[in-house]
Amino acid sequence: MSERSELVTTCAWRGSRLTHSFFRSSHYGFWYRFLHSPDGLGGQHMEDLGIKLCPNWTPTLSFKGNVAHSTGRHGLKMNEYFPIKCGRTCGKCFDREIGADPAFMPTKSQFDEAPDTPVESAITWYEDFVAFKNKQFGVWGEFLVDVNFRNYRLLDHGIAGMEFAYVNGKSTKFARSRFEDFFLVGRTNPEEKVYLPLFEGKPSKYFMCELDPNMAQVGTVTGCVHGLHMPGIGSEITYSGITFVNYEAAVWGCAWCVELRGGYQQGERGAKRSGAERSKPCGRRYHANIHFIIRSLGTEFEDITYVNTDRPVTWRFDTAGILNDLDGSLTNTVAGASVVPTGMFVAANPNCEVMSSVSYLHGMQDFYAVCTVKVRRTAIYPTFFSVFMNSQRLFQYPYITIKDISEHMEVGHTPEHAKEAYNAIPGMDQPKGPTSCFPQGPGFDYLALLPVDRHYGITFTDEHNIQVAGFVSVLAQEMTPDEKMMFSLSLNHPFGNPLYRAWSIPTEAHR
């Protein structure tokens, strides 16, 4: 028996003797709360010396081999961390520090003379951590950039093995966070009841607890416990070598999204910009600037293993996120597949398959969709100039209608293109405003998850179904040059434009 084990055994024995048949720490096992600058007397002392330290930029010396179990909240908690090179001295590098003396402390004059160096990531790993029977999460964190985790064993968590509210995210395309070699077990004892702290009281389409929250009528009890909660704001993340055991849904997305906000993947705007597509039906115009966003990773999965796990993901709402399956192991399909929420556009797409199973709350329910083509997070920024909007003030919150019109246009300019046929195509109607979009992309505008290689028609109407004209910018995030999407922006239904026929494969009807 190791020295550590002896200590634990001794303490447990002592606890029993003190009549504690059950005890747990009230909150956290390990809490890394990275300060922006030192506080207290130490911080004052550094300030008097004229030297700055930035703990939240300092690379971690070592975190490995630690265990946290049976705490009241989380085994490991982390807040606000972005390790960079020379981050210890707030981004100012010194020769001695870089060399053999990591503890070198500059003088005030040295500090003042040192130039600010460009921000460069410092690879930091948190390794070999075990957490079990923690009442909420094995690992929980927020506002982490460029932090990596390896070799974690997380078991019997109250809510989820790991949840991060924000990882990388906006303007952090330089960052890269890897989660490697995770072994996640929802319940080591499948008969055990589940603690349900986040039960919201009423069922909805996307609900964290897919099963009977009272555990009265169903056999499995893992429906409310997930292995991973996807970040509300997260990007540049790779999950590799993850094993999920005894879950209903391995992943839940997205954590800390408010209403419909969150769950995005951030790219770089304007990495490549195409020319404008323009149409002039009836003398009114839409202008469209299509921005293709590249150089962003989104959320990737590879080398995923399931044991007694029903499905890869339960989504919280229709735009909650996109999981990229690098090697086909996440979806048991093909490499490069995307796992997305069910919605209008994936349901109508022949390259997407909607996955359904029985839910206690809703009966047969669509839980997620697997698309063998990429699905891109597409933001739509309109600037309206309709006279109706200006004179009648009816267009403060116009509705956007997006329709997948690929099949509709394929047959060319034929009677099937009648207005009735176009109107019969199911589409997504969404109001403008804070409930329709995400602050990251875009705020107070429109957003949809759209599979590539399809043709979409976009129109805007007011509450009286009067169409609205304006300029429109479209941002398709993470789109690569070999992918394509076409948007038809017209006040009238998109009939007869040669561009539409150029998109589709010519058919007999064309000829």
What is the 8-class DSSP label of residue 258? B
| Binding range to another protein, per CB under 8 A, among 56-64, 138-146, 165-173, 395-403 | 56-64
Measure CA 326 to chain center.
16
| Beta strand 323-325 pairing with 337-340 | antiparallel
Among 33, 278, 295, 419, binds another protein (CB under 8 A): 33
For residues 98 and 128, is the Cβ–Cβ distance under 8 A? no
Interface pick for another protein out of 1, 100, 103, 216 (rule CB under 8 A): 103
Among 50, 65, 433, 443, binds another protein (CB under 8 A): 65
Stretch that binds another protein, among 76-84, 110-118, 177-185, 363-371 (CB under 8 A): 76-84
If DSSP codes are grouped into helix, strand and coil, which group holds residue 308? strand
Minimum CB separation of residue 87 from another protein in Å reads 9
Across the beta sheet with 446-451, the strand order is 268-279, 286-294, 470-476, 375-384, 446-451
Tell me the window of 40-48, 335-343, 387-395, 502-510 that interacts with another protein (CB under 8 A).
40-48
Nearer to another protein, 17 or 464 (CB): 17
Q: Which of 57, 53, 51 is nearest to 34 (CA)?
A: 57
* Residue 280 engages another protein in binding (rule: CB under 8 A): no
If DSSP codes are grouped into helix, strand and coil, which group holds residue 155? strand
Closer Cβ to another protein, 60 or 467, answer by number:
60
69 binds another protein (CB under 8 A): yes
Q: Does 43 bind another protein (CB under 8 A)?
A: yes
- Of 12 and 421, which has the nearer Cβ to another protein? 12
Rule CB under 8 A: choose which of 17, 19, 26, 95 binds another protein: 26
Task: Examine residue 4 and tell whether it contacts another protein (CB under 8 A).
Answer: yes
* Residue 100 contacts another protein per CB under 8 A: no
**Residue among 299, 342, 331, 293 at smallest CA distance from 164:** 299
> Which tokens go with 113?
């003379």
Integer Cα distance of 90 and 315 in angstroms: 39
Give the residue among 129, 147, 148, 151 at the shortest CA–CA distance from 139.
129
**In residues, how long is the chain?**
511
Q: Does 189 bind another protein (CB under 8 A)?
A: no
Q: Which residues bind another protein (CB under 8 A)?
A: 3-4, 7-8, 10-12, 14-15, 18, 20, 22-35, 37-43, 45-46, 53, 55, 58-71, 73, 75, 77, 81, 83, 88, 102-103, 124, 133
